[in-house]
Structure 1
Amino acid sequence: MTDEELAGLAETLASAAGLTRPTALRRLAGGRNNRVFHVSMEDGSCVVLKLYHSDPRDPRDRLGAEWSFLNYVWERGVRNVPRPLTRDKARHAALYDFVPGRKIAADEIDAAVVAKAADFVIAINGEPCQPERLAPGSEACFSMADHLATVDRRVARLDGIDEHAPFAAEAASLVANRLHPLWQRASSAISEGAKAEGIALDASIASVCVSPSDFGFHNALLDEAGRAGFIDFEYAGRDDPAKLVCDFFCQPEVPVPPAAFDAFVAAIAGPLGLVRDDLWRCRTLLPAYRLKWVCIILNEFLPIGASRRAFADEGDRAIRAQQQIDNARRQLDLVATQL
């Protein structure tokens, strides 16, 4: 999309939302799958224009998921998220209120900051709590078998690494010699643990929640008063609360200290109505989700993953690829110590 087309889209959406005319657009850093712009308005206010990656090989409706989630939580009085203003489904674009704040650094993650995340999970599941009003989140899981199958699919997909990608041979070796063996060990341990607990792998889970899905401090902001805001809900929907917990503690970009696990789970357990089996899944599935995040990191080496990253970041693919190899190694080292 040219600068002129982008400015025209911003003006069209601003008009549809009843806003004044845009005067300037500035690309915001950080989006891995989308392009996000800060839009200055004629009246001195500002909004955010978000362009969502779309590819026929990936049927997920990122715009639809984020739009539905934000309208749902906004109706329930949650205000530390972007307010949805208007969208253009045909052009995979939406306009949102601007959420002020700065990115959170890993060394800032303490008990108080983790408590803000727990408060957010509780708030989005506030009354009336109707997760059935939302579509399933991306890769939603409603049984133990679903969790195992999700990671299985991601691991198997990495057998199709693009041989023309930078460092492709290194990535393929990492998948064959480290990821596959670790996943076999983790999957077996989880299945045996479920059997010991008397939990059938195909049994439906007891609890379903409203989930941001890709939840973590990589998608959070702190304003000047220390209030936390949360952004990027393109994978949100209804899901297993254990998956929410595991993603929160396994996302590698701004890692949450493992020591915070018990306090976080305890904080959300009562308000979300979690029962014993839910709490067991939260802990037992952690190695599986660490390996799932390794797969996500290595998406850089799959054609569709590279296409999505290139849409959001036009930088040097070789640099991205080397960074992802290093990130994947660190995560695999961590999982190896836990099995």
Structure 2
Amino acid sequence: MTHISPSQHGAQADYDPWQLAEHLLGRPPLALQPVGESGWNNHLFKVKTEEGLLALKRYPVNDLRGRMAREAAALWFLAAHPPSPSPRLLSMDPTANGMLLTWVEGEPISQSSADIATIDAMLACMAQLHQLRHSSTATNLVAASDAVFNVEGARRQIRQRMRRLDDARQQHPRLDDFLRRLQSLADELLPRAQEQWSCEDPLPSALRTLSFSDFGFHNAIRQPDGRIVFVDLEYFGWDDPVKLASDTLWHPAMALRGELRRHFCEHAVKLYEESGDHNIRKRFATMHPLYGLIWCLIVLNPFIASAQQAPALVGQANAQRLEAQLAMAHRYADTLKTGCHLTYHPAIPPEQES
């Protein structure tokens, strides 16, 4: 059973990591160690206790997306329908922006270490989540972050992400040139997609699936026994299976290509087709380029943060990073009209292709 620990510090507690661990444990930990680099959205710590290791996850104070609440709901839901593909939530305090989870022992999965077995584990997780859509409690779950259920939903995301880059494009003429190119592509692809979808109504609930949203082996740990555990459910919820599959293919942290890409693409589409989604291949062909266009904009997110800094504070290293992200966005744009079976991936510069 999950323990919810209300803070005694008022409406919004301000704990340092050690205090947060002590608050959620109910006693001081034996040791606390940061895990990896600080992410955009959270901080992770390894907590040593008398009983063993736990994971402490700390969320940002101004969490406008409600990542903690979304992840907690997902973890509770999966724990109630074993076997869960994810860690177990042990304790949390929403006012302190933190939770304790079971520690997952194992190794992160890299692009170089991923194999067909890794893809099959992902497909098995997708199949399990799709089956769980029939659960009576699944209706309590919200839509996944940035879920898309029709062409208008994609159009809205493209427009919003374009708008977020308004300040940055004023400071970076090459970014402005690229966004003009991308707008031309959007003006071509969106009407075509609307014609192919041929219906303005959202995707029927019966055809939707439960999705990790930010799904892939970049958010997975291979345990010593070979079992793969999927972590980071901050964007979990209902979505179109096409969005889940397409995002996985476009995601730069995955960079699926070659046989792994072919295997995932074919089996993912088949999974949902066999469950009654007989139009999924047509919908995939319609929407996959639009999701690629959205990814063109996602990889440009560093420009948004840079635009909030004074030009004199943007160092050479950051400038080089922005150039690299812009080059990546150009490669994404170059591949928008291709199908599923790319032998390369736009996230990887040609000189780094093996």
- TM-score interval (norm. to shorter): 0.7 to 0.9
Cα distance in 1 for partners of 2:22, 2:285 equals 48
Q: Which residue of 2 aligns with 1:185?
A: 185
Cα distance in 2 for partners of 1:214, 1:126 equals 19
Alignment counterpart, residue 281 of structure 2, candidates 279, 282, 301: 279
Is the 1:38–1:49 Cα contact (8 Å) retained in structure 2?
yes
Q: Which residue of 2 aligns with 1:97?
A: 102
Q: Which residue of 1 aligns with 2:244?
A: 244
Pick closer, same or farther for the CA change 1:193–1:146 going to 2, 3 Å. Answer: closer
Provide structure 2 residue ranges, at least 5 long, that are not aligned to the other structure.
1-13, 338-354
Asked whether 1:299 is paired with 2:301, we answer yes
Q: In the TM superposition, what whole-angstrom CA distance separates every residue of 1:192-234 from its partner, at most 9, and x where no partner exists?
A: 1441x3622x222132111111112211111223221111111
Alignment counterpart, residue 203 of structure 1, candidates 195, 201, 204: 201
Report how far residue 248 of structure 1 moved. Answer: 0.8
Cα distance in 2 for partners of 1:317, 1:135 equals 41
In our comparison, the structure showing a higher alpha carbon Rg is: 2
Q: In the TM superposition, what whole-angstrom CA distance separates every residue of 1:80-119 from its partner, at most 9, and x where no partner exists?
A: 3110111111111111111222121212333322111111
Q: Which residue of 2 aligns with 1:326?
A: 324
Identity %: 26
Is the 2:269–2:281 Cα contact (8 Å) retained in structure 1?
no
The one-letter code sitting in structure 1 at the alignment partner of 2:330 is L
Cα distance in 1 for partners of 2:243, 2:135 equals 18
Asked whether 1:126 is paired with 2:131, we answer yes
Alignment counterpart, residue 13 of structure 1, candidates 5, 21, 24: 24
Q: Which residue of 2 aligns with 1:337?
A: 335
Asked whether 1:232 is paired with 2:225, we answer no
Report how far residue 21 of structure 1 moved. Answer: 4.6
Cα distance in 1 for partners of 2:291, 2:33 equals 35
Cα distance in 1 for partners of 2:53, 2:23 equals 15
Is the 1:137–1:236 Cα contact (8 Å) retained in structure 2?
yes
Q: Which residue of 2 aligns with 1:313?
A: none
The one-letter code sitting in structure 2 at the alignment partner of 1:5 is D
The one-letter code sitting in structure 2 at the alignment partner of 1:227 is R
Report how far residue 324 of structure 1 moved. Answer: 4.9
Pick closer, same or farther for the CA change 1:198–1:248 going to 2, 3 Å. Answer: closer
Cα distance in 2 for partners of 1:51, 1:67 equals 13
Farther-moved stretch of structure 1 (148-157 vs 298-307): 298-307
Pick closer, same or farther for the CA change 1:66–1:304 going to 2, 3 Å. Answer: farther
Alignment counterpart, residue 60 of structure 2, candidates 53, 69, 76: 53
Report how far residue 306 of structure 1 moved. Answer: 7.8
Asked whether 1:151 is paired with 2:154, we answer no
Report how far residue 53 of structure 1 moved. Answer: 1.6
Asked whether 1:41 is paired with 2:19, we answer no
Pick closer, same or farther for the CA change 1:117–1:176 going to 2, 3 Å. Answer: same
Is the 1:216–1:247 Cα contact (8 Å) retained in structure 2?
no
Q: In the TM superposition, what whole-angstrom CA distance separates every residue of 1:216-263 from its partner, at most 9, and x where no partner exists?
A: 221111122322111111111112211111111111023122423432
Asked whether 1:217 is paired with 2:217, we answer yes
Task: Give the aligned length.
Answer: 312
Cα distance in 2 for partners of 1:121, 1:324 equals 34
Cα distance in 2 for partners of 1:304, 1:212 equals 29
Q: Which residue of 1 aligns with 2:352?
A: none
Is the 2:109–2:220 Cα contact (8 Å) retained in structure 1?
yes
Is the 1:221–1:228 Cα contact (8 Å) retained in structure 2?
yes
Cα distance in 2 for partners of 1:27, 1:272 equals 42
TM-score by length of 2: 0.79
Q: Which has the higher contact order (CA 8 A, sep 6+)?
A: 1
Provide structure 1 residue ranges, at least 5 long, that are not aligned to the other structure.
164-168, 308-315
Asked whether 1:139 is paired with 2:146, we answer yes
Farther-moved stretch of structure 1 (59-68 vs 148-157): 148-157
Pick closer, same or farther for the CA change 1:141–1:271 going to 2, 3 Å. Answer: same
SS in 1 for 2:328: helix
Farther-moved stretch of structure 1 (261-270 vs 117-126): 261-270
Is the 2:123–2:264 Cα contact (8 Å) retained in structure 1?
no
